[in-house]
Amino acid sequence: MTVPHEPLHTQQETLDPTDWVAFRARAHAMVDAAIDKMASTTEGRVWHEPPASLKASFNASLPMQGHGGDATQTMLTGLLPYGVGNTHPRFFGWVHGGGTPGNLIADIAAAAINANLGGRDHGAMYVEKQVNQWCRALFEFPETASGLVVSGTSIATIIALKTARDQCLEFASRSEGLAGAKLTGYTSTQTHSCVARAFDILGLGTHALRKIPVNGSFEIDTKALEVAIAADQAAGFTPFVIVGTAGAVNVGAIDDLEALADIAASRGLWFHVDGAFGALGVLSPRLKPRLSGIKRADSLAFDFHKWLHVNYDAGFVLMRSEAAHRKAFSERPDYLKGAERGLAAGNPWPVEYGPELSRGFRSLKIWTQLNEHGIDKLGEMVTRNCEQASYLAERVQEAPVTELLAPVAMNICCFRYVVPDYGVGQLNALNEEIVVQLQLKGIAAPSTTLLKGCTAIRVNITNHRTQFSDLDILLDAIIEIGAELAPQFA
Ligand SMILES: *Cc1c(COP(=O)(O)O)cnc(C)c1O
């Protein structure tokens, strides 16, 4: 028995509150403010431009002395109205998810646990394993497949393509680099820029990614693909990967994934699918048949923060060959050695499947979303967004002043306001301005893109809050603003 003795040191200060009652009240006030924001998100303006005073308040000098919890909380609360607008039902820009109130609770729980998911044996790791298992089931990958929760499709793509690169070079590239290998990859002109960026980061160079033309539906031309691969082989290059897209960012086109899987299989190439938002189309009976090729992919990158409405950020990379995945990343120095028992158990660790060691508890948001709402309901939201895009396309085609610019493959509708006798330059400028006005007026927030030289008003619907009436509001506003602005562009 040790004898209680006088402490050697007096109690030292920590970063914890001295008054937990006051802290509890402050935390509850923030929870209330956050719920108020979420409960009222369907009302009012889509986007509030951050005021000059707010911008200026973030030019403060480095706080040598803390301002304390209350002053900090005032600043936090002041930030709440100035989101990008993606929680609003009429946010249609780029591809953003709307998030859910349930994820607010998950984030509080995750912050309380404050887990590091680089590895080791603790509760959070089992949540992550569950998410991995659900992803395999969702995309009909084998039980032996591996995966990693990441921040988004951009990093998921880097992880997948590094594995493809290393496998092609028999993993010597991990120590020797490319050593003169002339690797080439193939994708369509519609592919997201993160694929070229991955080629850059992986030392392959963006020119090694061959951009294959698309057909009238913006899907990769598979004949041109085969010609390009053969030409590169004849010229001494080493083709190693085909990247197909399930839901291309411009118009939502889905490549013929089965055909790409066949071509990759017949030539021994890695088949990667960028399914950032579109892969979740497998939840919808309407889209599922067109996505059957995903289950033949060697790797798939997709986001939970887009069409599954998980609050930012959460993406995933799914890999058919666990062995290749681990061989491309595993590097466990002595201080990270695993064990059979104790805290260092639970092997293999996520650190063996990606570039990061410390990793936050993103998987809790994902688990919460799937667990709370279930696949059936999340799938209904996907289907409804597609029906809404088709509905908008019908209205666009009916109206004499609007013109559809691309077929609607899933949830994206691209069109423009037209004025008879206006040239393409005038129409492009007019449509750019219509979109800016919609955003500034707070009515709706579509974005723009360029399709065959024409500026399109691009309406992406990955939003569980969007109602059909929101699309009426959008189109009516476009027609009104278009008529008002048209004379300025004459
Ligand atoms: C959003 C998107 C990406 C990039 O995903 P992040 O999560 O933003 O990194 C890649 N491809 C497509 C088709 C996308 O829509």
pLDDT in tens, 325-347: 999 999 877 877 888 888 888 88
Residues 6+ apart with CB under 8 A from 283: 138, 375, 378, 379, 382
Residue nearest to atom 5 of ligand 1 (CA): 153
Residue 469's pLDDT is 98
- Asked if residue 346 lies in contact with residue 119, where contact means CB atoms within 8 angstroms, the answer is yes
Residue 1's pLDDT is 55
Pocket test for ligand 1, best of 151, 274, 291 (most atoms within 8 A of CB): 274
Q: How is residue 267 written in tokens?
A: 């030539």
10: confidence class by pLDDT, cuts 50, 70, 90 = confident
Q: Which atom of ligand 1 is nearest to the CA of 278?
A: 13
- Asked if residue 134 lies in contact with residue 127, where contact means CB atoms within 8 angstroms, the answer is no
Does the CB atom of residue 461 touch ligand 1 within 6 A? no
Residues 6+ apart with CB under 8 A from 428: 454, 455
Residue range 24-36: average pLDDT?
A: 98
Q: How big is the chain by its Cα radius of gyration, in Å? A: 25
Mean pLDDT of the chain: 96
For 231-271, write each residue's pLDDT tens digit.
999 999 999 999 999 999 999 999 999 999 999 999 999 99
Ramachandran quadrant class, 213 (left: phi over 0; alpha: psi -120 to 50; beta: rest): beta
Residue nearest to atom 7 of ligand 1 (CA): 152
Residue range 217-223: average pLDDT?
A: 97
Tokens 């260092």 found at: 344
pLDDT at 7 over 80: no
Does the CB atom of residue 152 touch ligand 1 within 6 A? yes
Residue 216's pLDDT is 94
Distance 173 CA to ligand 1 centre (A): 27
Distance 304 CA to ligand 1 centre (A): 11
Tokens 């010597």 found at: 172
Residue range 61-82: average pLDDT?
A: 96
On the CB side of 197, how many CA atoms lie within 13 Å of its CA? 11
Does the CB atom of residue 410 touch ligand 1 within 6 A? no
362: nearest Cα among 302, 308, 310: 310
pLDDT at 14 over 70: yes
- Asked if residue 389 lies in contact with residue 412, where contact means CB atoms within 8 angstroms, the answer is yes
Pocket test for ligand 1, best of 188, 192, 294 (most atoms within 8 A of CB): 192
pLDDT at 3 over 70: no
Residues 6+ apart with CB under 8 A from 233: 239
* Domain extents in the chain: 107-373
Residue 342's pLDDT is 87
402: nearest Cα among 426, 420, 384: 420
2: confidence class by pLDDT, cuts 50, 70, 90 = low
Q: How is residue 106 written in tokens?
A: 């998950």
Query: Coil, strand, or helix at residue 264?
Result: helix
Question: For 49-53, 196-200, 201-205, 427-431, which range has the lowest pLDDT when averaged over its residues?
Answer: 49-53
> What top-level class would CATH report for the domain 107-373?
alpha beta
Pocket test for ligand 1, best of 193, 249, 300, 460 (most atoms within 8 A of CB): 249
Pocket test for ligand 1, best of 153, 190, 311 (most atoms within 8 A of CB): 153
The percentage of residues in the chain with a pLDDT greater than 70, rounded to a whole number, is 98
Residue nearest to atom 12 of ligand 1 (CA): 276
For 145-167, write each residue's pLDDT tens digit.
999 999 999 999 999 999 999 99
141: confidence class by pLDDT, cuts 50, 70, 90 = very high
Tokens 């090729």 found at: 293
Does the CB atom of residue 95 touch ligand 1 within 6 A? yes
| β-pairing verdict for 315-319 and 402-404 | unpaired
pLDDT at 9 over 80: no
Which residue pairs, CB below 8 angstroms and at least 24 apart, start in 176-183? 177/203, 178/203, 178/204, 181/238, 182/208, 182/236, 182/237, 182/238, 183/208, 183/237, 183/238, 183/239, 183/240
Query: Coil, strand, or helix at residue 121?
Result: coil
Distance 276 CA to ligand 1 centre (A): 5
* Residues belonging to the chain: 490
The C-alpha torsion from 97 through 100 and 102 to 103, rounded to 10°, is 40
Kindly list the strands in the beta sheet with 412-417, ordered across the sheet, starting from the edge strand earlier in the chain: 402-404, 412-417, 454-460, 447-451
